Amino acid sequence: MMGTSHLWAQANDRVRLAVVGVGGRGNDHLKVFSKIDKVEIAAVVDPDGNRAEKAAQWVLQNTGKRCKVESDMRRAFEDKEIDGVTIATTNHWHALSAIWAMQAGKDVYVEKPVSHNFFEGQQLVNASRRYNRIAQGGTQRRSYGMFMMLMKMLHEGLIGDIYLAKWVFPGRRDTIGFKPYENPPGWLNWDLWLGPAREQQYHGNLVHYNWHWFWDFGNGELGNNGIHLVDVARWALNRGLPSKIYSTGGRYGYKDQAETPNTQNVTWRYPDGVEMVAELRGLYTSESMSWDFFGTKGHLHISSDKDYKLTFGRNKQPEPVVAPQVEANHYSNFTDAIRTRDRSKQNAEINETHLSTAFCHLGNIAYRLGRELTFDASVNTFVGDSDADRLLTREFRKPYEVPEIKL
């Protein structure tokens, strides 16, 4: 059923948003959503009081309107005049934030990766269906003109049957060193920041960016930037989840406080032998981010968000580049869906982003266990591997438990 907030939005043809998490990506949300016609930033939320106040000042200076400032997202979700929520928190808060918002009758835009573990992603999709909410993932290349054009051409058989999708992401990360355990600063609500994660002491490598490299909060580079490349590759393959997963790597070049690998290779394989292969490099390389798709008729190389090269058969000379279609606005695609209630028009509907995020979770589980895993996508569990199954979810710290959503 449509909530009262959506009746209000339709009557006024205006979408009022709460932005949850106003760090680097959240500030981008403020900038892009505030430029969309008839979209208003109604609230900003962050357990870091300094960030929240700074974001509210930005909204006032750039839109001329005052917004609410909250440290606890639940108070924003209680506001009947808020129609949608954008979520740019730490990864371990993504799914629970979105589920709480949908339970309160809000539509949600969730940054990548849309979950911290596989179970959360499943519940996120289920919540969207059960509460009839619009939910969109932050895999914005789904709205880029070149990618939309190329994916359509691949699905129509441009290079024949694709048997291998390969991508490379060079992160070029330096050591984060070691930071001492200490009391959290006064401007930070540590309990709210921890949320679903296990109880632990604060240290300066967690707040605000390097949490990505700790398993309790982040998903390493595979879940940080790799999700974007996974999503494009899975989009090209036009497939769901794999059956075999293998990953190697490590944290090379330095010793520091971080837990996740700075270098990682992952192979995901389908029952018919089709593969996706990933290479993430955190040390020094002259490579750029790229994708390669190999088919029975040719090869597509994507070297950036705007350039590609296509060759057929034994040809060494690439085909002429075709001008891409007009790009969509990934963010207004979300707000348009709020107004129309038409999930089919979304470029990154939440189930698609969940499936791509799940590739990252499966890859990280294989890395952490150090062996090839067999996954049964029909029941969403590993075959004969209770250790791997345990890593599909986590123990949630009360009262920040991700609920199981029944359909």
Q: Do 394 and 402 meet the contact criterion of CB atoms below 8 Å apart? A: no
Q: Are 241 and 370 within one domain?
A: yes
Distance CA 374, CA 269 (A): 10
Distance CA 355, CA 330 (A): 19
Burial zone of 220 (CB within 10 Å; 0-12 exposed, 13-18 middle, 19+ buried): buried
Query: In the 8-state DSSP scheme, what is residue 153?
Result: H
218 domain-assigned: yes
Cα 162 to the chain's mean position, in Å?
Answer: 25
pLDDT band at 326 (very low <50, low <70, confident <90, very high): confident
Q: Are 46 and 22 within one domain?
A: yes
115 domain-assigned: yes
Q: Do 52 and 45 meet the contact criterion of CB atoms below 8 Å apart? A: yes
For 104-114, how does the pLDDT look when each residue is reduced to its tens digit (9 = 90+)?
999 999 999 99
Contacts of 61 (CB under 8 A, 6+ apart): none
Q: Are 161 and 72 within one domain?
A: no
Q: Are 133 and 258 within one domain?
A: no
For 34-74, how does the pLDDT look when each residue is reduced to its tens digit (9 = 90+)?
999 999 999 999 999 999 999 999 999 999 999 999 999 99
pLDDT band at 3 (very low <50, low <70, confident <90, very high): very low
131 domain-assigned: yes
Q: Do 138 and 109 meet the contact criterion of CB atoms below 8 Å apart? A: yes
Q: Are 236 and 361 within one domain?
A: yes
| Domain residue limits at 32 | 4-141+332-347
Distance CA 19, CA 63 (A): 15
CA angle 184, 185, 186 (to 5 degrees): 120
Distance CA 213, CA 260 (A): 5
Distance CA 273, CA 270 (A): 5
Q: Is the pLDDT of residue 232 over 70?
A: yes
Q: Are 158 and 96 within one domain?
A: no
For 353-364, how does the pLDDT look when each residue is reduced to its tens digit (9 = 90+)?
999 999 999 999
What average pLDDT score do residues 149-154 get?
A: 97
**Which CATH number does the domain housing residue 87 bear?**
3.40.50.720
pLDDT band at 323 (very low <50, low <70, confident <90, very high): confident
Q: Are 101 and 154 within one domain?
A: no
Q: Is the pLDDT of residue 2 over 50?
A: no
For 182-230, how does the pLDDT look when each residue is reduced to its tens digit (9 = 90+)?
999 999 999 999 999 999 999 999 999 999 999 999 999 999 999 999 9
Number of domains in the chain: 2
- Residue 325: the pLDDT is 78
- Residue 92: the pLDDT is 98
Q: Are 108 and 167 within one domain?
A: no
- Residue 12: the pLDDT is 60
Distance CA 359, CA 77 (A): 30
401 domain-assigned: no
Q: Are 134 and 225 within one domain?
A: no
Q: Could you count the other beta carbons within 10 Å of the beta carbon of residue 93? A: 25
Q: Are 241 and 256 within one domain?
A: yes
Q: Is the pLDDT of residue 118 over 50?
A: yes
Q: Are 153 and 42 within one domain?
A: no
**Which CATH number does the domain housing residue 244 bear?**
3.30.360.10
